[in-house]
Structure 1
Amino acid sequence: MDVTDPHPSRTARALRLVAAVACLPYLSLKTAWIAGSTVGIPAGSELLEKRGTMAAVNSLTVLMDAAVIVLAFALTQPWGRRTPAWLVALPLWAATGLLAPIVVGFPLQAVIALFGGGSAGAGDGEPFLDEWVFTVVYTGFGVQALALGWLFALYVRDRWGHLLRGRLAGLPPSPTGPAQRVLAVLAAVVALLVAGLHLSWALGSTAGLSGHLVGQRSANLRVNEAIQVVFALAAAAGVVLVAHRPRPRTRLAAAVALGWTGGAALAAWSGWMLLASLVTENPVRGDRQPTQPMNLAYAGGMITGLLVLAVGATLLAERAAAVSAGGPRPAGRAVSAGGPGPRPPAVPASPTGPAGPARGPVPAGSPPPGRG
């Protein structure tokens, strides 16, 4: 895909169309809920208790999902190539974090449900959304993620591929190297603490969980916790590889992809869970409020993600500045705008909304990745 070509390739146009169409189920449901419809929301759902708050949050998440369509055009049109890097990268980083747990977790939970293992412990909870909503919305999220992720991979190859070439051993000394290494150690330590908390919950411990979550324990919720362990370890590994380079033969693109995906997932998941606790706050049901250990895990996830982002952004900004100043171009094939180059791993990206209570990084009024 040549992003300087005013006529994107047939593949790019098809992916753009798929991403846009995949947004329609989510946007249609959210628009209906904002208008007062209760389609897909069973009687007794807590989503019906705070109409004003839910309408505001649903309006926000409609804008966020509509941004997927804007991003799809930005990744396939010449004006997107001229857009400041941060204005493209930050929304896609956040979207990666919101969708990565769903892309990984939803298929696993579908398999669990197939064998009848996903609903254990959830029967005592109040209804949240009708079952069909989970399937429709999360299928749409998955398609968005694949289409936008593919477009993002092509865009990265064409615009920044030369910055991601080579192995860690080929990185030149950095004037901010000491600071990057300190931040990397901090990020790794916090990530491991967060991973430890999620691992204990994935293994069945209820220590530090709210009363509501204890009552909602299921195989699906354990999968959610295990996925967070994986992302925490990925974030720690990626940032340590980039800053300390313990394995110099590792490809830079692989290390950056680890840090990007792991850090984004931790930060976005944790942020949405904190927001969800505010949106669903119920003074009568105090057992739904996050405990101190849960808040510690959420805060740690956000801190880890931001530290990893800072290290990665600093590294790539320095490499871009060196190239702009006429320094040596990173080793590898020359890449003209839109020219060939190695493709870093695609990362699913598609923004969603805040989580349902004690569920996952999902839109308020929409289903979580788990059906705990």
Structure 2
Amino acid sequence: MTQLLVPSSGLPAADRPGRTRRVLRAVAIASCLPYLSLKAAWIAGSHIGIPEGSALLDHRGVMIAANTLTVLMDAAVIVLALLLTRPWGHRVPAWLLALPMWAATGLLAPIMAGFPAQLAVRALGGSVNSAEDTGREPFLDEWVFGVVYGGFILQGLSLGLLFALYARDRWGQVWRGRVAGLAAPGRGARLCALAAAVLALYPATLRLLWASGSTLGLNASRAAERTSDFYVLQALEACYLAAAVAGVLALAFRWRPALPVRVPLALAWLGSGAVACWGAWLLIASLGPAGDAAEQPTTAMILSYAVQMIIGTLVAAVGVRLLTERAGRGGAA
């Protein structure tokens, strides 16, 4: 990826970023503070926002470890916001920026789509995954979700816009032009794209089955506690898989030659990040302690998470390869 490290002539020369970038940076940093404050309080032993009887209180050590990890993850948003708005950020190796930014996109984008979808379901009279609608012990106080997910949405919007501005300055020449101008991909890239498309059939089929009401592959607890928003979220999961596959196939096989390169590139970036990162997150969560046998993830669920990680990695690898070659050729053709 050394070619991608070459700065373009469009890099800002001033030490002080423009007003738009300063505002976006402030929003990104400020939106992290409520989440970080809550997590720090929980690590310190506070139960603010955690009702009595919550499963979070059953495993103190696991809770501290998980909260410490998520504090570091959210603190990375602050680092990224600074990196994307300071001159020294343009000297950072591409992979050192792209990898955490890809992960941040993958983790935040589904929340940005899913949480408003849940609110819409509730507004339309549907049930959502809450203690009130499922009848189980509350996991967190209701206000916590609004504060945390609202912050995540602001982080995603501000960080995404900052990255778009940064990438335009540093690598704008790479995503200009049409799909027809892409260099002929190598055999390896095409095989990776095809493998991702074939593998996606498994988790996509499961998600669509769950979205349509089937309980095939679900554990007993999840099957019993399905609410209206569950079906919407499963349909969205299938959309992320479709975006990843559509993007990588368009790039690897130069489908839709008149299409701007940035369209399949954005689909592959967002889709692969969402599929891989949430697959990894759910796989890690599935390895933690479960309250009873009914809450243990099934083999089908665990396999789908692992396959999602593979799909996202394959799509990302194809994207990196094509972008590196394109940068070496001087960008748009």
If the TM-score is normalised by the length of the shorter chain, which range does it land in? over 0.9
CA contact (8 A) 2:118 2:229 kept: yes
1:118 Cα deviation after fit: 2.3
1:163-203 C-alpha deviation (Å, 9 max, x unpaired) = 111111112334xx111111100001111221111000011
2:227 counterpart of 1:225? no
Give the letter for the 2:18 counterpart. S
| Counterpart code for 1:39 | I
Query: 2:161 aligned with 1:157, yes or no?
Result: no
In the TM superposition, residue 2 of structure 1 has moved relative to its aligned partner by: 4.7
Moved more, 114-123 or 86-95: 114-123
Shift of 1:113: 1.2
Q: Which residue of 1 aligns with 2:153?
A: 142
Q: For 1:92-171, what aligned pairs fall within 5 Å after superposition?
A: 92-119=101-128, 122-171=133-182
Give the corresponding residue for 2:317: 310
Residue in structure 1 matched with residue 332 of structure 2 by the alignment: 330
Q: Which has the larger share of helix?
A: 2
Please give the secondary structure, in 2, of the residue aligned with 1:36.
Answer: coil
TM-superposed deviation, 1:278 = 1.9
Change (3 A) 1:173 1:123: closer
Question: 1:207 aligns to what?
Answer: 216
Q: Secondary structure at the match of 1:39?
A: coil
Q: Specify which of 11, 31, 44 is matched with residue 20 of structure 2.
A: 11
Distance 2:32 2:254 in 1: 40
The corresponding residue for 2:303 is: 296
Mark the runs of 5 or more structure 2 residues left unpaired by the alignment.
1-9
Partner in structure 2 of residue 57 of structure 1: 66
Give yes or no for contact 1:3–1:81 (8 Å, CA) kept in 2: no
Q: How high is the TM-score relative to the length of structure 2?
A: 0.93
Point out 4+ residue stretches in structure 1 off by more than 6 angstroms.
none
**Paired letter, 1:139:** G
Q: Which amino acid aligns with 1:208?
A: G
Any residues of structure 2 matched to 1:2-41 within 5 Å, and which?
Answer: 2-41=11-50
Select between 65-74 and 287-296 the one with higher mean Cα deviation: 287-296
Alignment partner of 1:197 out of 199, 206, 209: 206
Contact 1:192–1:233 (8 Å) recurs in 2: no
Pairs aligned (count): 322
Contact 2:118–2:128 (CA under 8 A) maintained in structure 1:
no
Match of 1:350 in 2: none
Output one character per residue of 1:117-137: Cα deviation in whole Å (capped at 9) or x when no partner: 123894232211110001111
| Secondary structure in structure 1 of the residue aligned to 2:50 | coil
Aligned equivalents of 1:214, 1:107: Cα separation in 2: 23
Which digits, 9 at most, give the CA deviation of each residue in 1:21-57, with x for residues without a partner?
0001100100000000011111111100111111011
1:211-360 equivalences in 2 (<5 Å): 211-279=220-288, 281-282=289-290, 285-323=292-330, 329-331=331-333
Distance of 1:188 and 1:83 partners within structure 2 = 33
Q: Offset of 1:75 from its aligned partner?
A: 0.4
Alpha-carbon distance, 1:330 to partner: 2.1
Instruction: Output one character per residue of 1:293-351: Cα deviation in whole Å (capped at 9) or x when no partner.
Output: 1112111111110000000000111122333xxxxx524xxxxxxxxxxxxxxxxxxxx
Retained in 1: the 8 A contact 2:241–2:275? yes
Aligned amino acid, residue 45 of structure 2: G
* Residues 4/47 of structure 1: CA separation in 2 closer, same or farther (3 Å cut): farther
Q: Conserved in 1, the CA contact under 8 Å of 2:212 and 2:231? A: yes
Deviation at 1:250, TM superposition (A): 1.4
Query: Which one scores higher on RCO, CA 8 angstroms, separation ≥ 6?
Result: 1
Q: Give ranges in structure 1 of 5+ residues lacking alignment.
A: 324-328, 332-372
Q: Is the 8 Å Cα contact of residues 4 and 81 (structure 1) preserved in structure 2?
A: no
For residue 115 of structure 2, give the secondary structure of its aligned residue in structure 1: helix
Query: Which amino acid counterpart does residue 141 of structure 1 have in structure 2?
Result: F
Q: Distance in 2 between matches of 1:322 and 1:246?
A: 20
CA-atom RMSD in angstroms? 1.5
Quote the residue 1:87 is aligned against.
96
What residue in structure 2 maps to residue 345 of structure 1? none
Per-residue CA deviation, residues 71-111 of structure 1 (Å, 9 max, x unaligned), is: 00100111110100000000010011101111011111101
CA apart distance, 1:251: 1.2
